[in-house]
Structure 1
Amino acid sequence: MSSSASQSSRHTATWPLVKRLAGSYLLPHRASLALALFMMTLDAAATGALAKLMEPMIDDIFTQQRASALWPVAGAVFAAFVVRGIAGYLHAVLLNRVGQRIVANVQSALFGHLMQADLAYFHANPSGNLISRLVNDVSLMRNAVAECLTGIGKSTLSLLILVGVMFHQDWGLSIIAFTAFPLAAFALARIGRRLRRVSARTQHELGVFATFLGQTFQGVRHVKAYGMEGHEVRRVDGMVEKLFSLTNKGFRTSAMLTPINEVVSGIAIVTVIVYGGMQVISGANSAGSLLSFITAFMLAFDPMKKLSKLNAQLQVGLAAAERVFEVLDTQPEIVERPDAAVLPRAVHDVRFQDVHFRYDGGREALDGLDLEVPAGRMVALVGASGAGKSTVLNLIPRFYDVIGGRVMVGGHDVRDLTLASLRANIAIVSQETALFDETVRANIAYGRADASEAEIVQAARDAAAHDFIMELPDGYDTMVGEQGVKLSGGQRQRIAIARAMLKNAPVLLLDEATSALDSESERAIQEALKRLQKGRTTLVIAHRLSTIIDADRIYVLENGKVVEWGTHAELIRHGGPYSRYHALQAGFERAAAG
């Protein structure tokens, strides 16, 4: 899933999108659709009957004054209205339920698909854009599908039956009345295509806007610290103005349907009045027959107008569906092989054999890397920023795939293992803590829903987090806020470490796990991590070299390659890059202490 979900330059034709929606999501609701179709047919037939009943009402009751026809015609009219009311309600409820269920299924499928996406996909597509597709686009799909399912079927059937009544009454007059409609249909089709393009651009800009808002709110501390409030307001003003322009353009485009409908209606009605009136005056037709025709014609205008508006709404919904399907059609690149093996839960070794890797379009982050983390041992990675340390950690749980060489866990190429079993053997604590707007308890137990209260508390104690948790307003039930905003950096880190401890995985990956802690907390955490590391395979990215003195092996990375490795004492004696890093850091620490 490496391609970006950016605004598509090409638009899928209407019919393939409609066919896909129908084929993939309508078929499971065949029974409800069949019953709704029957109710729509009754509704449309009752509407046609009302138009037809105008003829006996005028000719038999009003003109010939036949009293015997009064109650039967009145009863038939009342029955038609009752049938329309009941059938209209039932088919509307049935189709609305089907439409809402279809879009709910699409929304669930979209989120489920995104959860299977590669990490690279989320890096390539801003979160606001993806949220916009899940919320805004799916909402537009919901409106379009629910309204169009309910409206198009009923309006089409009503129109067909009413046109049938018109042709039954006077086929010549019907042909004359409909001469203007092909031109109107052509104009409406052009408007629909234009509206779809505008809607697609609007949804894209909404995604950009949502991304910007998310980034600004998360970085509001920096905005205020640098006095950039005015700058951010001006940026938002520009985006809001662009959205205003697009939405206004979309409304103007859809509003063009009204004058087209009214002009066509006026032409058709005048034609019917003049031509039909001349027939009645000459005696070629009765007044009742003409009124029945005019009634059917007037009633037919309502579904015709609705169909034109529904077409506009359908085009907006299809533009949203196109964006949703674009995400659903993007397949992940990190996939399991059909014969993938299950990695048993055990203390495994980790090996990199001539590993090459690069991020999209960049230079090689790892260039022929070879390293080994023996089972049950602690190995540390040291190097300047950009040396490839975090990339090494990302390749072990297979967040990315190598472009050359092999990453081995327990003697297996990670590409030959099921993702679930591989990641179940690995616990990660990163310098970037990921907490959810949930309770402290839920954040610690994330990934271990079956964990007992005693296990959660013990994990917190081991991470030196229990004491500060008990001082929170609601203890373990305290909500931590978005990204743990209600906690300090050190507190967030200790919650993340407690989560890893609770997982109790045999392979432990620590990415500068104590970087956000003060010295006192760091000492407590280091003691806890030493207990956790016993009997486990541990790979550590070190920020403070003093924390890895006891590592069984230290690898020094530069430009994606191992330039030296050994124990702390061996590397100090060697006098290479590690020795220089150590001397430099020791100098800074002495200066800070002085």
Structure 2
Amino acid sequence: MLKFFRSSANQRLVARLLRESFRKHVFDYSIAISAMIVVAGMTAASAWIMRDIANEFSGPKDIDTIYLIAGAVATIFIVKGLATFIQTLFLSRAGNSIIADRQLRIYDRVLEHGIEFYHSYSSADLIMRITQSAQKARSVVDTLVTSFIRDLFSVVGLVAVMAVQQPMLSLVAFIIGPIAILMVNKLLKRTRKIAKQELVSVSIIMRVLQETVFGARIVKSFNLEGMMRDRMYSAVADVQRRANSMAALQAITGPIMETLAGLAIAGVILISGYLIVEGGHTPGSVMAFITALLLAYEPAKRLARARIALESGMVGVRLMYEMTDRPLKLTEAPDAKPLPEGAGEIRFDNVCFSYRDDEPVLTDLNIVFPAGKMTALVGASGGGKSTVLNLIMRLYDPDSGRVLFDGVDIKDATLHSLRERFAYVSQDTFLFDATVMHNIRMGRQDATDDEVIAAAKAANAHAFIKALPDGYDTNIGENGVLLSGGQRQRISIARAMLRNSQVLLLDEATSALDAESESLFRDALDNLQEGRTTIAIAHRLSTVHRAHNIIVMDGGRAIEQGTHAELLAKPDGAYRKLHEYQFLP
């Protein structure tokens, strides 16, 4: 145990974990620790009283003394039982609270991060860290508290009884104890590595399961069941193998302690018998010593195993703090203010941006999205169109240059006030595992049912919603799995319409709509964008020909802009070539 704390890294992490845990749960831990001290005291007392029991039954009988001893024994075990109950109850309450607190803290930190963070971790890894790491944090605290309070105090108390009753016999136990500790320590070298590998394998299991669920159509259509099964079997086998290795490390401490304890007890019995028969010692002191030795066995064994449990738990604690301590790349300015009211003009001023070093996506981009007008972004994939929307919503910050909202650098505005100005519809529609009503209401959570229905009608979604088994109260499953692609997209459009925001951002919003639905959506969009700044990304040029301004993006630059007619009038223009690719045979 002491060797574990020689590591300065372990000391810092444990100190931080205890400081944060005890600060909030000081009452529960105080009660639990007090009960543990009582348990340790009663354990030592139960060994001590064996002297009187043995002496009384081996010598002259005094019924009053027997009554007194019996009452004392009953009291010791009643108090010990009650204290054990209190210890377990309050330690569990504190531990459960730690798990909940840690999970919420990690989740809050995850929400604070920008989009780049979600590209750094797989969803399975995040789930594993939020669930497993919090459990490990609790196990470390529980191990430290029980080992250093209950088990250590019990061993100290029992050793004191042994030393007082039979100093010479105690030497046998004091020689065997260090030997056991040295042997257990040799088992710990692989513990940390195995524990970390086990957590990695658990995250792989989660990842394969998620890919199987979300990619079910691809898995089935490409006959990938065999490959997915092999991946899952391999990951499960890895977890099983490492769990078995960890179990073996933990289990082997038991036989070691059992063997050494048996040798120690056998030696004690031999010497005790000699002392009683030949040395004139009283049976009581020998019985008290043997009882203390036997009672010390279990807490001593737990203390020997504590370091293995700590090494395993600290892997999860490190992963937890790695997550919560990761710096935020996208933060509000210390003096950020709510975005002031304005017309809704958005301007890019010499903006440069890259997702990875030496791979620029936008280069010295200077464009204006006029207030109350519709601007379309078109061009080949990889030209930077979606990145423009990401920067407008401040999901990322430019490497250089500024994004201005009515002349205000959006870095100087609070994130909440900025994003309140936007409604966003993407080609990758996301819906919650809830009812249709709930999903549309996410656009504006205080909206009435009538407002939700009006938005659905405007998005041409009302008819198919009414045809669902429970209408607007139909649960649509995870990410709307029970709906068609076009139906999901119309619900997301209704959600954006309900938001009734100043700026409407459409990223291929009609990609999953058929020709008839798209025509109806364009009619609804004409009404929706009245007086709003609308920015639409489109590959199908039929959806943007009525835009007030069309910007052609290529290689992170705006290479052309103008109205549909103006751009078509350019014989060698990029927009005209895109138009010919789509509409000429």
Could you state the TM-score of these two structures normalised by the residue count of structure 1?
0.94
* Matching residue's letter, 2:310: L
1:200-219 alignment, distance < 5 Å: 200-219=196-215
- The aligned residue for residue 3 of structure 2 is none
- The aligned residue for residue 584 of structure 1 is 581
- Aligned counterpart for 2:338 among listed residues 312, 320, 342: 342
- Aligned counterpart for 1:523 among listed residues 516, 519, 531: 519
Q: In structure 1, what is the Cα distance between the partners aligned to 2:139 and 2:546?
A: 62
- The aligned residue for residue 429 of structure 2 is 433
Between stretches 528-537 and 445-454, larger displacement belongs to 445-454
Between stretches 326-335 and 130-139, larger displacement belongs to 130-139
Does 1:331 pair with 2:357? no
- Aligned counterpart for 2:541 among listed residues 524, 545, 549: 545
- The aligned residue for residue 499 of structure 2 is 503
Instruction: Tell me how far 1:150 sits from its aligned partner.
Output: 4.8
Q: 3-state DSSP class of the match of 2:53?
A: helix
Q: Deviations over 1:39-67 (max 9, x none)?
A: 22222211111111111111123233333
How has the CA–CA distance of structure 1 residues 268 and 360 changed in structure 2, closer, same or farther, with 3 Å as cutoff?
farther
- The answer (yes or no) to whether the contact 1:378–1:533 under 8 Å persists in 2 is yes
How has the CA–CA distance of structure 1 residues 455 and 149 changed in structure 2, closer, same or farther, with 3 Å as cutoff?
farther
- The aligned residue for residue 159 of structure 1 is 155
Does 1:460 pair with 2:446? no
Q: Deviations over 1:539-585 (max 9, x none)?
A: 11012112211211111111111111111111111231101001111
Q: In structure 1, what is the Cα distance between the partners aligned to 2:343 and 2:252?
A: 69
Q: In structure 1, what is the Cα distance between the partners aligned to 2:495 and 2:186?
A: 57
Q: In structure 2, what is the Cα distance between the partners aligned to 1:547 and 1:388?
A: 19
Instruction: Tell me how far 1:344 sits from its aligned partner.
Output: 3.0
Between stretches 295-304 and 210-219, larger displacement belongs to 210-219
- The answer (yes or no) to whether the contact 2:33–2:145 under 8 Å persists in 1 is no
Q: In structure 2, what is the Cα distance between the partners aligned to 1:465 and 1:362?
A: 44
- Aligned counterpart for 1:178 among listed residues 156, 174, 178: 174
Q: Pairwise CA RMSD of aligned residues?
A: 1.8
Could you state the TM-score of these two structures normalised by the residue count of structure 2?
0.95
- The aligned residue for residue 4 of structure 1 is none
Q: 3-state DSSP class of the match of 1:549?
A: coil
- The aligned residue for residue 27 of structure 2 is 31
- Aligned counterpart for 1:21 among listed residues 14, 17, 24: 17
The percentage of aligned residue pairs carrying the same residue is 40
* Matching residue's letter, 1:16: R
Between stretches 360-369 and 117-126, larger displacement belongs to 360-369
* Matching residue's letter, 1:312: I
**Runs of at least 5 residues in structure 2 that lack an aligned partner in the other structure:** 1-6
Q: In structure 2, what is the Cα distance between the partners aligned to 1:586 and 1:150?
A: 75
- The answer (yes or no) to whether the contact 1:61–1:67 under 8 Å persists in 2 is no
Q: In structure 1, what is the Cα distance between the partners aligned to 2:105 and 2:92?
A: 20
Does 1:412 pair with 2:445? no
- The aligned residue for residue 567 of structure 2 is 571
Q: 3-state DSSP class of the match of 1:304?
A: helix
Does 1:251 pair with 2:247? yes
Q: In structure 2, what is the Cα distance between the partners aligned to 1:445 and 1:192?
A: 54
Q: Deviations over 1:313-341 (max 9, x none)?
A: 33322221221111111121100010012
Q: In structure 2, what is the Cα distance between the partners aligned to 1:393 and 1:223?
A: 32
* Matching residue's letter, 2:49: L
1:476-487 alignment, distance < 5 Å: 476-487=472-483
* Matching residue's letter, 1:368: D
Between stretches 211-220 and 32-41, larger displacement belongs to 32-41
How has the CA–CA distance of structure 1 residues 362 and 247 changed in structure 2, closer, same or farther, with 3 Å as cutoff?
farther
Does 1:370 pair with 2:366? yes
Q: In structure 1, what is the Cα distance between the partners aligned to 2:226 and 2:8?
A: 41
- The answer (yes or no) to whether the contact 1:336–1:416 under 8 Å persists in 2 is yes
- The answer (yes or no) to whether the contact 1:341–1:417 under 8 Å persists in 2 is yes
- The answer (yes or no) to whether the contact 2:98–2:134 under 8 Å persists in 1 is no
Q: In structure 1, what is the Cα distance between the partners aligned to 2:175 and 2:280?
A: 22
* Matching residue's letter, 2:320: V
Q: In structure 2, what is the Cα distance between the partners aligned to 1:193 and 1:407?
A: 54
Q: In structure 1, what is the Cα distance between the partners aligned to 2:208 and 2:93?
A: 35
Q: 3-state DSSP class of the match of 1:339?
A: coil
Instruction: Tell me how far 1:500 sits from its aligned partner.
Output: 0.8
- The answer (yes or no) to whether the contact 2:443–2:498 under 8 Å persists in 1 is no
Q: 3-state DSSP class of the match of 1:180?
A: helix
- The aligned residue for residue 379 of structure 2 is 383
- Aligned counterpart for 1:125 among listed residues 103, 121, 124: 121
Instruction: Tell me how far 1:422 sits from its aligned partner.
Output: 0.6
* Matching residue's letter, 1:77: V
- The aligned residue for residue 397 of structure 1 is 393
- The answer (yes or no) to whether the contact 2:44–2:154 under 8 Å persists in 1 is yes
Between stretches 350-359 and 338-347, larger displacement belongs to 338-347
Instruction: Tell me how far 1:251 sits from its aligned partner.
Output: 1.4
Does 1:298 pair with 2:294? yes
Q: In structure 2, what is the Cα distance between the partners aligned to 1:512 and 1:286?
A: 93
Does 1:492 pair with 2:488? yes
Between stretches 132-141 and 405-414, larger displacement belongs to 132-141
Count of residues in Structure 1 that have an aligned counterpart in Structure 2? 578
- The aligned residue for residue 560 of structure 1 is 556
Instruction: Tell me how far 1:246 sits from its aligned partner.
Output: 1.5
* Matching residue's letter, 2:583: A
- The aligned residue for residue 56 of structure 1 is 52
Q: 3-state DSSP class of the match of 2:552?
A: strand
Q: In structure 1, what is the Cα distance between the partners aligned to 2:311 and 2:153?
A: 21
- The answer (yes or no) to whether the contact 2:550–2:563 under 8 Å persists in 1 is yes
Q: In structure 1, what is the Cα distance between the partners aligned to 2:448 and 2:479?
A: 24
- Aligned counterpart for 1:99 among listed residues 90, 95, 99: 95
- The answer (yes or no) to whether the contact 1:469–1:475 under 8 Å persists in 2 is yes
Instruction: Tell me how far 1:473 sits from its aligned partner.
Output: 0.4
Between stretches 268-277 and 352-361, larger displacement belongs to 268-277
- The aligned residue for residue 259 of structure 2 is 263
* Matching residue's letter, 2:301: K
- The aligned residue for residue 197 of structure 1 is 193
- The answer (yes or no) to whether the contact 1:110–1:328 under 8 Å persists in 2 is yes
* Matching residue's letter, 1:30: V
Q: 3-state DSSP class of the match of 1:256?
A: helix
Q: 3-state DSSP class of the match of 1:381?
A: strand
Q: 3-state DSSP class of the match of 2:250?
A: helix
Q: 3-state DSSP class of the match of 1:355?
A: strand
Q: Deviations over 1:268-318 (max 9, x none)?
A: 223322333333233253211011001011001111122334443333222
Q: In structure 2, what is the Cα distance between the partners aligned to 1:395 and 1:167?
A: 73
Q: In structure 2, what is the Cα distance between the partners aligned to 1:48 and 1:186?
A: 26
Instruction: Tell me how far 1:146 sits from its aligned partner.
Output: 4.6
- The aligned residue for residue 5 of structure 1 is none
* Matching residue's letter, 1:586: F
- The answer (yes or no) to whether the contact 1:166–1:174 under 8 Å persists in 2 is yes
Instruction: Tell me how far 1:498 sits from its aligned partner.
Output: 0.8
Q: 3-state DSSP class of the match of 1:46?
A: helix
How has the CA–CA distance of structure 1 residues 138 and 33 changed in structure 2, closer, same or farther, with 3 Å as cutoff?
closer
Runs of 4+ deviating beyond 6 Å:
none
- The aligned residue for residue 65 of structure 1 is 61
